[in-house]
Structure 1
Amino acid sequence: MDHLYWNLGTCAGGAVFEIELRGSTARVCLMDDDEYQSYVDGDEYEFFGGFYDLTPVVLQVPYDDHWWLIVDSYPDNIRVTVNQVFDDD
């Protein structure tokens, strides 16, 4: 399955990521390891996120786990920037 993805690694619940989309709308999905494997295998899966046409997209990790960020769009027409947001405390 052709898709853009970022292996975010192990993240604590509450971690925040900001995704900037340029050139196209996209479905942005935050998935743990099990759901990502189901996605790749073509099985049913669940994710956090949705379809976005305005950016930045801000997604918060719901619980401690290994996370993947997937962007479903036309890879040749979109530029994506992913940054973790940190508190200034």
Structure 2
Amino acid sequence: MEHLYWDLGPYAGGTCFEVTLRGSSANVCLLDAEEYQAYLDGDEYEYHGGFQEITPFVLEVPYDDHWYLVVDGNERRIKVTFTEID
């Protein structure tokens, strides 16, 4: 499973991130720790986000938890930047 990921750590619900993709469109997933483990195991998982062709875009953390940002795509073709925004 080819993907890029960042361990964002704990965040409160309502926190927003602006995400920019360069080089390719991709599926962008915001996953809590339990769902990220299911993703890694190849099990069913739920995520926030989706396929992104136009960037930048905003992802909002839906509830307090430990979060991971996952980008499914060719890691050699895509560059990802993200920042927490107010």
TM-score under structure 1 normalisation? Answer: 0.93
Higher Rg: 1
SS at match of 1:77: coil
Kept in 1: contact 2:2–2:73 (CA 8 A): no
Q: Provide, for residues 62-81 of structure 1, a one-character-per-residue CA deviation record: whole Å limited to 9, x for no partner.
A: 00000000001111111110
Name the residue aligned to 1:42.
42
Structure 1: runs of 5 or more not aligned: none
- Which stretches of structure 1, 4 residues or more, deviate above 6 A after TM superposition? none
**2:2 and 2:74 in contact (8 A); partners too:** no
Identical amino acids, percent of aligned pairs: 59
The alignment's C-alpha RMSD in Å is 0.7
Who is 2:81 aligned against? 81
Matched ranges for 1:1-89 at <5 A: 1-86=1-86
Partners of 1:83 and 1:58 in 2: CA distance: 10
Which amino acid is 1:84 matched to? E
Other structure's SS at 1:54 match: coil
TM-score w.r.t. length of structure 2 = 0.96
